[in-house]
Amino acid sequence: MKILKLAIAFLAALNLNAKSDEKTIVVGVSPVPHAQILEVVKPKLKEQGYELVISEITDYSIPNIATNDGDLDANFFQHEPYLNEHNKNRNTDLVKVVAVHLEPLGFYSNKIKNINELKDNATIAIAHDPTNGNRALRILQNAGLITLDESAVLATPADIVKNPKGLKFVEIEGALIPRSLNDVDLAAISTNFVLDMGLNPSKDALIIEGTNSPYANIIATKRGNENSPKIKALSKAVTSDEVRNFINERYKGAVLPVF
């Protein structure tokens, strides 16, 4: 916890004017595409008298705790299943405000160019958190590479009942998976990290999640704040036609609006 508090203090130091008040909205975000999307709504909120402060955070352990503690008004980096799991395991009380976009989870490799080239006993990196690990395994099942126990809700590698290629799994912190690409044969990487790497999921992913995914990225806030005027203003601004057009034009299918 001490390390977490130091990390939050460091982030606060980056935004010396980031103290929240009735007319200041402080939101913790992943850099890409979340920060880019919120930059679009800054002028719209400014017209309404709100100052939007965007605090970029790359460590997933920070924004939910900071939002729950009141250091952030809201955050924008996660999907609802991840939020629900965090509330359950970390005793936070955060709620979804609005769903904004889907970042299709994909599998990438520096060693093969086509999923058909995947060798027996290949090593695959997936996120170690329950929701994103399950998400990755479901994609592999849909691709016919593994079969999961039907009773598993949040599947882990232990729930694999058929594995004809003898695939081996390593579970890694999501933000660190891009660094593992040279050490594994295949890696499940979130689109926000993929875009930072200069890749396009629609072109570079060997397997990619379908558009029927329940993992849309959301604005989240502490329970009780969701109906405050400034959170309502943020919600309305981030689901505007202007933002929809920006997502479609900027990311060309790599990120999809869901509102």
- Reported as a single tens digit per residue, the pLDDT across 130-163 is 999 999 999 999 999 999 999 999 999 999 999 9
> Do 124 and 65 share a structural domain?
no
Q: Which of 208, 226, 248 is the last residue of a domain?
A: 208
> Do 99 and 12 share a structural domain?
yes
Q: Which 8-state DSSP code applies to residue 119?
A: P
Q: Which 8-state DSSP code applies to residue 176?
A: G
> Do 187 and 139 share a structural domain?
yes
> Do 163 and 131 share a structural domain?
yes
pLDDT at residue 241 is higher than 80: yes
Q: Quick one: pLDDT at residue 196?
A: 86
> Do 221 and 98 share a structural domain?
yes
> Do 231 and 248 share a structural domain?
yes
> Do 222 and 168 share a structural domain?
no
Count of domains observed in the chain: 2
> Do 122 and 37 share a structural domain?
no
Range of the domain at 170: 106-208
- Secondary structure class of 14 (helix, strand, coil): helix
Q: Quick one: pLDDT at residue 6?
A: 39
For 41-167, strand residue ranges (E) read 51-56, 74-79, 94-102, 106-108, 123-127, 147-148, 160-162
Of 150 and 12, the one with more pLDDT: 150
Which of 85, 81, 58 has the alpha carbon at shortest distance from 174?
A: 58
Q: Quick one: pLDDT at residue 10?
A: 43
For the question of whether the overall pTM of this predicted structure is more than 0.85, the answer is no
> Do 154 and 137 share a structural domain?
yes
Q: Quick one: pLDDT at residue 213?
A: 86
